[in-house]
Amino acid sequence: MTKRMVLIGAALLAFSPGLAQAQVVASLAGLHGITEEAVTATAEQVPEDLYSFQATEEVRTLGQLLAHIADANYQICSAASGDTNPNTGSIEQTKTTKADIQAALASAFAYCRAVYDNTTDAQGAEMVPFFGGQEMARSAILAFNSGHTYEHYGNLVTYMRLNDITPPTSQP
């Protein structure tokens, strides 16, 4: 890209409020994409026999963590959108095979991507009920979703390291 094209693009952005208004939610969607990529790569990389791996009796198995992420994506993104949660069951309690959990994750991440794609920055600023009725901006709920997903990716990294697997985000 030439310097002139960059300057023209910057000028268009400066004089196009509609384009500039999408920056916050677009940035949040980018963060969601980073977490989605890491978790999806983990689900693909880990062999099925490790889906039942549990670091201690008190914690979820690796498969349950992945399924929990899918459940949470539906719950959190539906709260941000104001829609009814389309996931009427518990993925964590019903899906146990690698293929089923990967499919559930793919669907949950796709659902969230659609929420990001259909949320403007103006909508992102709207306050909506979240967890027990507390009011939170839609964009903050979307940010919470990525934070929650990455929190559990950290758990998955530990599980992988305990099994001599290099996590996707640590691979060259």
Residue 5 has pLDDT above 50, yes or no: no
Q: Where are the alpha helices (DSSP H) in 3-136?
A: 3-14, 17-20, 23-45, 62-81, 91-94, 98-117, 121-124
- Say if 17 falls within a structural domain: no
Neighbours of 10 (CB within 10 A): 10
Residue 8 has pLDDT above 80, yes or no: no
- Say if 140 falls within a structural domain: yes
Cβ proximity of 92 and 71 under 8 Å: yes
Total tally of structural domains belonging to the chain: 1
- Say if 5 falls within a structural domain: no
* Half-sphere exposure for 167 (CA within 13 Å, toward CB): 18
Q: What is d(CA 1, CA 17) in angstroms, rounded to the nearest whole number? A: 23
The mean pLDDT of 39-45, rounded to a whole number, is: 98
Q: Between 132 and 67, whose confidence is greater?
A: 67
- Say if 54 falls within a structural domain: yes
Q: Which residue has the tokens 């890209």?
A: 1
- Say if 109 falls within a structural domain: yes
- Say if 101 falls within a structural domain: yes
- In this prediction, residue 75 carries a pLDDT of 97
> Percent of the chain at pLDDT above 70?
88
- Say if 9 falls within a structural domain: no
In Å, how far are 6, 20, 23 from 1, measured between CA atoms? 7, 21, 21
- Say if 110 falls within a structural domain: yes
The mean pLDDT of 31-58, rounded to a whole number, is: 97
pLDDT, averaged across the chain: 90
Cβ proximity of 145 and 112 under 8 Å: yes
Host domain of residue 56:
22-170
Q: Give the tokens for residue 73.
A: 């994506």
For residue 152, the domain's CATH number is 1.20.120.450
Residue range 63-81, pLDDT digits in tens: 999 999 999 999 999 999 9
Q: What is d(CA 144, CA 147) in angstroms, rounded to the nearest whole number? A: 5
In Å, how far are 40, 52, 58, 65, 87 from 62, measured between CA atoms? 13, 6, 13, 5, 21
